[in-house]
């Protein structure tokens, strides 16, 4: 069978089987056509029906999470873990706590995680999990009780050689601490069961910063390759969580000016550059909304709505909030405003139409599965330190992260040049990530 026909058949099968899983179908549809040139050259993958198998998670777990709020009322949420692919290592991927979480979103995230983890060059498979629990507005004791209940069930399905969750939207150091404490209470002290742990108990220096820093390193290497740098570049950033904050920090360190950040209500435009100390204080310490930022920084402006509706000339865009935040019209606005590079700190923040606009307008595009792989890469470094009972310095971890991001960028660039159009880093990421996993699956008898 021809490769093109084969991938169309897989897509059609999934659309019939899971018509309501729009995010998962989108992630697969973005992936499949890009690997056609590679399949044309390697019909053995078609003979093994590797795509038909790889789009099915190895295991999906769903469970109830009952917990008590501060008023004494019993609440219940849904908990999930999707163990997608363990061909090259234990399942690895974050936990997301957000009201929008459902099986479709976790399958899209888990599917992308397979290829992202493969691209890091480290021995980690793909997984993702979470809950439709909304941490916003909850007290610390409520968060703790929820995490304890969630881990009571999840602990039966994870382990250092089986599945090693980490954070994602709504899950940071505080949540990982409570989850770890409950795992320890139920099983034993095992540092290797979660990553993103606080520094006081086997966390890795540099993990908090890794995803944001990594996305900026990806762009740094891309710019260097084109004889350019971050110096004096105007950068638009969305989000104001873990990824966005440290992307802004690294942009500033490298001489660029990050002028925006956002949350789900609105965005801040600070033309002098985001005041990082203030942003960290509001988001990490006080856990308040972005409206507070402009109260304390008179030159900055706050607008309701999407940051991608801002009309301003800029050089680089780093979407670091959530999936599908940039659609066709927003991508057209970025291109018209002079943006030359889009690198995704978030997972799948650009719709497929938006990506098409980037390609049509010569905007260089670093897809999430390559550009935000620094987080999971440093999580894998945390696993190594835990196994060796060692703690590397921040400089050591940061140096390794920079090397890994350079390697990912070069792999995407070179693979794109070999199999697809030059500079199509999404195709490069998909093909390179896929090849390693597919070979491992075949060598293991397609288990």
Minimal distance, residue 261 CB to ligand NDP, in Å = 8
Report, in angstroms and rounded to the nearest whole number, the Rg of the chain calculated over CA atoms: 21
Minimal distance, residue 209 CB to ligand NDP, in Å = 10
List, in order, residues 6 or more apart from 25 with CB less than 8 Å away: 11, 14, 15, 18
Closest to ligand NDP by CB, 34 vs 372, is 372
Cβ neighbourhood burial of 266 (10 Å; 0-12, 13-18, 19+): middle
Minimal distance, residue 99 CB to ligand NDP, in Å = 9
Closest to ligand NDP by CB, 100 vs 407, is 100
Count Cβ atoms below 10 Å from residue 293 Cβ, excluding itself.
Answer: 24
Minimal distance, residue 231 CB to ligand NDP, in Å = 26
Q: Which of 142, 123, 169, 91 is nearest to 346 (CA)?
A: 169
Minimal distance, residue 132 CB to ligand NDP, in Å = 13
Closest to ligand NDP by CB, 136 vs 156, is 136
Minimal distance, residue 372 CB to ligand NDP, in Å = 4
Closest to ligand NDP by CB, 291 vs 391, is 291
Which residue is catalytic, options 128, 234, 250, 330? Answer: 128
Residue whose CB is nearest to ligand NDP in the complex, by number: 241
Query: Which spans of this chain sit near ligand NDP (rule: CB under 6 A)?
Result: 94, 167-170, 211, 239-244, 263-264, 320-322, 345-347, 372, 375
To the query of whether residue 422 is one of the catalytic residues in this protein, the response is no
Q: Say how far apart CA 176 and CA 156 lie, in whole Å.
A: 17
Closest to ligand NDP by CB, 3 vs 116, is 116
DSSP-assigned states of every residue in 248-306 = HHHHHHTT-EE-EEE-SSEEEE-TT---HHHHHIIIIIS---THHHHHH-TT-EEEES-
Closest to ligand NDP by CB, 266 vs 273, is 266
Question: Taking CA 87 as the corner, what is the angle to CA 82 and CA 89, rounded to the nearest 5 degrees?
Answer: 80
DSSP-assigned states of every residue in 217-246 = HHHHHHHHHTT--STT-EEEE---SHHHHH
Q: Say how far apart CA 365 and CA 30 lie, in whole Å.
A: 14
List, in order, residues 6 or more apart from 127 with CB less than 8 Å away: 81, 82, 83, 84, 85, 91, 92, 93, 110, 113, 163, 165
Which amino acids are annotated catalytic?
Answer: 128
């Amino acid at each position: 069978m021809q490769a093109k026909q084969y991938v169309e058949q897989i897509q059609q099968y999934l659309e019939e089987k899971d018509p309501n899983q729009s995010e998962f179908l989108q992630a697969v549809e973005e992936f499949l056509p890009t690997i056609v040139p590679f399949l044309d050259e390697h019909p053995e993958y078609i003979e093994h029906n590797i795509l038909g198998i790889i789009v099915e998670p190895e295991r999906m777990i769903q469970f109830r999470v009952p917990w008590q709020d501060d008023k004494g009322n019993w609440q219940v949420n849904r908990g999930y873990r999707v163990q997608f692919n363990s061909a090259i290592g234990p399942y690895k991927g974050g936990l997301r706590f957000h009201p929008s979480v459902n099986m479709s979103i976790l399958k899209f995230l888990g599917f992308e995680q397979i290829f992202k983890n493969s691209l890091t060059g480290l021995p980690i498979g793909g997984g993702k999990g979470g809950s439709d629990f909304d941490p916003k507005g909850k007290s610390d004791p409520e968060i703790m009780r929820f995490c304890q209940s969630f881990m009571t069930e999840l602990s039966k399905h994870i382990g250092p050689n089986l599945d090693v969750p980490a954070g994602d939207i709504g899950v940071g150091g505080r949540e990982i601490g409570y989850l770890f404490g409950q795992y320890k209470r139920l099983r034993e002290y095992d540092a290797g069961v979660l990553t993103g742990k606080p520094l006081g108990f086997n966390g890795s220096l540099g993990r908090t910063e890794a995803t944001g820093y990594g996305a900026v390193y990806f762009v740094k290497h891309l710019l260097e390759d084109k004889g350019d740098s971050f110096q004096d570049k105007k950068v638009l950033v969305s989000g104001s969580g873990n990824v966005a904050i440290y992307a802004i920090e690294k942009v500033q360190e490298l001489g660029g000016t990050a002028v925006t950040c956002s949350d789900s209500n609105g965005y801040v435009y600070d033309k002098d550059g985001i005041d990082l100390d203030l942003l960290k204080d509001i988001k990490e310490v006080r856990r308040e909304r972005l409206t507070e930022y402009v109260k304390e920084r008179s030159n900055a402006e706050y607008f309701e709505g999407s940051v991608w509706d801002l009309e301003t000339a800029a050089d680089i865009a780093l979407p670091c909030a959530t999936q599908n935040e940039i659609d066709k019209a927003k991508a057209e606005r970025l291109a018209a405003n002079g943006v030359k590079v889009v690198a995704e700190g978030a997972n799948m923040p650009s719709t497929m139409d938006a990506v098409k606009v980037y390609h049509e307008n010569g905007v260089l595009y670093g897809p999430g599965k390559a550009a935000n792989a620094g987080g999971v890469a440093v999580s894998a470094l945390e696993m190594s330190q835990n196994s060796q009972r060692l703690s590397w310095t921040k400089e050591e971890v940061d140096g390794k992260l920079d090397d890994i991001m350079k390697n990912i960028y070069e792999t995407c660039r070179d693979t794109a040049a070999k199999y697809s159009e030059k500079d199509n880093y999404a195709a490069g990421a998909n093909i390179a990530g896929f090849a390693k996993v597919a070979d491992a699956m075949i060598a293991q008898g397609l288990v």
